[in-house]
């Protein structure tokens, strides 16, 4: 495939519509796809364009069709036997060809393993820019351009990035950052099936085997309750107490990066700018100071409870309920109260 010339002049008026690159994992829709549809709809409505979702796979048309329930105008279902499992080259070739052919104005991808893999490749093949890990997307009312905002300089400031001369304008968004699209009552969208030409020789990487991790999966993104521990725990054994509180509340265990760096807990539990972004109904921060990089991953939670022995800790500035005290005294008392009264129903 020929490489695109990045600096060539393009006619911006030739580009239309907002696209979401959807993800199906084992035939199931990845939650980030629904979140991107929600955001994509807002953008497409504000520029008066259509919202399409691209789904790549093999024999998963039924699952792809379900995306119409979320109010998209069209599902572009790209089907090929060689695309049954994710393949970097296969996905990048077919999606970039489709983008070059149909010319969307905006393309959104999840900042997932797949999105982070193909996003930069698509941008390079097409000859456009890509803003990774956006936390806010909006349309500039003066010129209709996409304003892509993301944390910069270690999260100490927010940078708004534009792509003035190239198209499409491409962004990735981490799972859990945007609100999910709601299901609609009456479907008006359609599915278009696209059969790309792809040969085995086009794909240099072959899938030989799939090995499922035996470790318990941490599902912070979907959790309604997240109980996180930080450096205030003082030692790895402190996470037993955090797990107990999480179990009592029916939630998952999260952590600050300091706890991960100390080797007290594994990185999939990390919440924050370089960890997972969560928005549960209840977030309990235990022994976490509330650094801006931690807040970046949890400040959208519905209710935030903070337990910290320092009344000046920044976490108290964003919490709904703050308890100033030693977590080793407060948490056991909370667990006892929850178990006795069983009063928490979320």
Ligand X SMILES: Cc1cc2nc3c(=O)[nH]c(=O)nc-3n(C[C@H](O)[C@H](O)[C@H](O)COP(=O)(O)OP(=O)(O)OC[C@H]3O[C@@H](n4cnc5c(N)ncnc54)[C@H](O)[C@@H]3O)c2cc1C
User: Cβ closer to ligand X: 97 or 256?
Assistant: 256
DSSP summary character for residue 216: P
DSSP 261: H
Q: Minimal CA–CA distance to 190: which of 78, 103, 76, 54? A: 76
To ligand X, the closest distance from the beta carbon of 231 in angstroms equals 3
Q: Which is nearer to ligand X, 280 or 297 (CB)?
A: 297
User: Residue by residue, what is the 3-state secondary structure of 265-298?
Assistant: CCHHHEECCCCECCCCCEEEEECCCCCHHHHCCC
- Cβ proximity to ligand X: between 92 and 273 the closer is 273
Nearest approach, Cβ of residue 300 and ligand X (Å)? 14
Q: Which DSSP string corresponds to 131-169?
A: E-S-SEEEE-TTT-PEEEEEEEGGGTEEEEE---SSSSE
Q: Which CB atom, from 98 or from 218, has the smaller least distance to ligand X?
A: 218
CB of 289 to ligand X, least distance (A): 3
Q: Which lies closer to ligand X via its Cβ, residue 131 or residue 289?
A: 289
What are the residues binding ligand X (CB under 6 A)?
A: 154-155, 230-232, 256-259, 270, 272-275, 287-289, 291, 293-294, 297, 307-310, 313, 326-328
User: C-beta of 277: minimal distance to ligand X in Å?
Assistant: 9
| Exposure string over 29-52, b if 16+ CB within 10 A, otherwise e | bbbbbbbbbbbbbbbbeeeebebb
CB 112 within 8 A of CB 32: yes
């Amino acid at each position: 495939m020929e490489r695109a010339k990045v600096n060539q002049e393009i006619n911006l008026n030739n580009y239309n519509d907002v696209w979401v690159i959807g993800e199906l994992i084992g035939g199931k829709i990845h939650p980030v796809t629904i979140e991107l549809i929600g955001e994509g709809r807002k953008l497409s409505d504000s520029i008066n364009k259509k919202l399409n979702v691209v789904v790549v796979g093999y024999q998963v048309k039924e699952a792809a069709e379900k995306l119409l329930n979320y109010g998209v105008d069209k599902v572009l279902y790209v089907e090929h036997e060689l695309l049954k499992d994710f393949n970097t080259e296969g996905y990048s070739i077919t999606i970039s060809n489709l983008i070059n052919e149909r010319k969307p104005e905006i393309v959104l991808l999840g900042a997932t393993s797949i999105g982070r893999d193909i996003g930069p490749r698509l941008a390079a093949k097409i000859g456009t820019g890509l803003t990774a890990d956006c936390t806010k997307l909006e349309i500039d009312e003066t010129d209709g351009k996409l304003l892509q905002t993301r944390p910069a300089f270690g999260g100490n400031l927010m940078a708004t990035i534009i792509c003035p001369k190239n198209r499409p304008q491409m962004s990735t968004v981490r799972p859990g950052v945007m609100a999910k699209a709601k299901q609609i009552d009456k479907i008006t969208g359609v599915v278009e099936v696209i059969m790309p030409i792809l040969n085995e020789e086009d794909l240099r990487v072959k899938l030989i085997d799939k090995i499922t991790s035996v470790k318990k999966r941490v599902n912070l993104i979907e959790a309604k309750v997240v109980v996180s521990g930080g450096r205030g725990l003082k030692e790895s054994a402190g996470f037993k107490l955090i797990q107990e509180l999480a179990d009592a509340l029916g939630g998952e265990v999260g952590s600050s990066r300091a706890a991960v760096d100390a080797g007290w807990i594994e990185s999939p539990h990390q919440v924050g700018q370089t960890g997972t972004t969560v928005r549960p109904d209840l977030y309990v921060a235990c022994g976490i100071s509330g650094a801006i990089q931690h807040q970046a991953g949890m400040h959208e939670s519905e209710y935030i409870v903070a337990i910290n022995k320092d009344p000046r800790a920044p976490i108290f500035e964003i919490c709904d309920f703050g308890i100033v005290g030693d977590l080793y005294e407060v948490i056991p008392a909370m667990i006892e109260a929850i178990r006795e009264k069983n009063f928490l129903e979320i």
